[in-house]
Amino acid sequence: MAEHFLSNKTEEIKTCIICTYCDSPVPAVNAGLMCEASMCDHHLRIHSKSAQHVLSDPVTSQESSKCSVPKKIPEHNCPEDIACNCGTCRLDGKHSGHQDELVQEKAEKEILINVPEKLSLKRKQTEKRVQSVQEHKKGAQETTAGRNKRATVLFSDLIKHLKNKVLNGISKQEEQVSLCYPIQQLGIKKGELSRKMLYPKELTIMPGPVWNTKGGNKEATCTNLTDIVTNLEKGIYIQEASNMLLDINTAGNNVLLTSDLKSALWSVVSQSYPKTRKRFKDPQILSLSKFSTGKHYWRVETSKAGNWRVGMCYRSIARKGFGSYIGCNNKSWGLCKWNNQFSVMHNCKEIPLSQSLSCQRLGIYLDYEAGQLSFYELCDPIRHLHTFTATFTEPLHAAFRIWLDSLGAAWILLKS
């Protein structure tokens, strides 16, 4: 079948007039009478730009297209004899008196007749390309619309997720802040302030927590301290708690303070406090009150969640870096909670407590002249935790540090 097809194709090519200028066999559409060449569409466009060339139908031999008698280039076509002739034959020869037309005009007419067909073909091809572009554009629009829809849903879900996460965080903070404001308890304690005004003489004459290095009267001294705190807790003598406030100018940006400056809560949201030289870079804060003489006592309530440190320090303590942590320098003394483990620290020396705390209420007692700072657990019974001994050289401020653990954020409350 292939051989038959190829043989037929070869025969077709042999029977048609081939373009003189094409390398491969391409059918000719016209012939040039002057140059004696047959041309395809492509070479005809180039060849026909010259007005001197006369075109005719393609022939197998250029001799046949010339006038037979004078052997001239025929310029006229005789429709009656279906033959070409020169000017001489038209007037004197056998074609004399016949209607004729110029060969060039006939060729141009035939070209013009083929122009609409060719233009129609090109128009159809252009229409197909326009349709293809429109279909491609429509597909691209549908794809873009689908992607926009998916992106809208994705961002909507993401915004919803972030919104819920933020709202949950705010709700947890509100719960933690509410724990810092025992309003009913504060109302009850307000009535007790009337009977907590003065220090009686017993506090000034009672022996402080001085440890005997030989251990002889250690137990007795501890008992005296416990008695002091017990009496303080009963309201026999206590310093007015309203004097103990937190200094907002020292608070780190993750420390949230209450309006009465009595409570502090670790906050995930930065408070963006104004920059001052006093302000800690970490979540740490000092009291407004400073102590450079005398005996003082106050109470602190802490949270079960979070990690915290409470104690005292000089105002000259560093404000950033590890050296600013309570207990991690020679300018501070503290009681520390870290992952439910309790210890006391000074100058990076840590002493673990033998027992965990059983409640969140703490008592702190300072005897500046004696150089003693004591911590107590205010449960029933009251338990002495530790006493630091030192020679204080600067005024002391109460110091507090709060941050997170696996259970949540820490908070502290100065008790009245």
First to last CA, the chain: 112
Q: Is residue 168 part of a domain?
A: yes
Segments of the chain with pLDDT less than 50: 184, 188, 191, 193-214, 216-223, 234-242
Do 29 and 174 reside in the same domain of the chain? no
Q: Is residue 118 part of a domain?
A: no
CB 17 within 8 A of CB 28: yes
Do 207 and 73 reside in the same domain of the chain? no
Number of domains in the chain: 3
Do 95 and 164 reside in the same domain of the chain? no
Do 9 and 39 reside in the same domain of the chain? yes
Pick from 232, 160, 137, 153: nearest CA to 192: 232
Q: Is residue 112 part of a domain?
A: no
- Return the CA Rg of the chain: 55
CB 5 within 8 A of CB 23: no
CB 258 within 8 A of CB 179: no
- In sequence order, the β-bridge partners of residue 84 are 77
Question: Is it true that the peptide bond before 58 is cis, omega within 30 degrees of 0?
Answer: no
CB 31 within 8 A of CB 59: yes
Q: Is residue 387 part of a domain?
A: yes
CB 65 within 8 A of CB 31: yes
Q: How is residue 309 written in tokens?
A: 């440190």
Tell me which amino acid residue 282 is.
Answer: D
With 0-12 / 13-18 / 19 or more C-beta atoms within 10 angstroms meaning exposed / middle / buried, residue 136 is: exposed
At residue 104, what are phi and psi to the nearest 5 degrees?
-65, -40
Residue at a domain's end among 50, 74, 107? 107
CB environment 290-308: b (16+ within 10 A), e (fewer): ebeeebbbbbbbbbebbbb
* CATH number reported for the structural domain that contains residue 242 in this entry: 2.60.120.920
Residue at a domain's end among 180, 206, 227? 180
Residue at a domain's end among 180, 201, 227? 180
Do 246 and 348 reside in the same domain of the chain? yes
Q: Is residue 299 part of a domain?
A: yes
The pLDDT value given to residue 362: 94
User: Could you count the other beta carbons within 10 Å of the beta carbon of residue 164?
Assistant: 10
Query: CA-CA distance, 88 to 305, in Å (whole number)?
Result: 124
pTM of the model: 0.48
Do 191 and 167 reside in the same domain of the chain? no
Q: Is residue 232 part of a domain?
A: yes
CB 264 within 8 A of CB 402: yes
Q: Is residue 199 part of a domain?
A: yes
Do 161 and 250 reside in the same domain of the chain? no
Do 295 and 346 reside in the same domain of the chain? yes
Range of the domain at 62: 2-107
Query: CA-CA distance, 101 to 54, in Å (whole number)?
Result: 13
* CATH number reported for the structural domain that contains residue 17 in this entry: 3.30.160.60
Q: What pLDDT digit, counting tens, does each position of 258-309 carry?
A: 999 999 999 999 999 999 999 999 999 999 999 999 999 999 999 999 999 9
CB 89 within 8 A of CB 69: yes
Tokens 């911590």 appear where?
375
Question: How many CA atoms are closer than 13 Å to the CA of 57, on its beta-carbon side?
Answer: 9
Reduced to 3 states, what is the DSSP secondary structure of residue 343?
strand
Chain centroid to Cα 19, Å, comes to 69
The pLDDT value given to residue 407: 86
- In sequence order, the β-bridge partners of residue 357 are none
Do 156 and 241 reside in the same domain of the chain? no
Q: Is residue 113 part of a domain?
A: no
CB 315 within 8 A of CB 290: yes
The pLDDT value given to residue 196: 42
Query: CA-CA distance, 268 to 258, in Å (whole number)?
Result: 16
Reduced to 3 states, what is the DSSP secondary structure of residue 160?
helix
Do 83 and 225 reside in the same domain of the chain? no
CB environment 16-43: b (16+ within 10 A), e (fewer): ebbbbbeeeebebbbbbbeeebbbbeeb
Do 363 and 333 reside in the same domain of the chain? yes
CB 265 within 8 A of CB 176: yes
Do 167 and 190 reside in the same domain of the chain? no
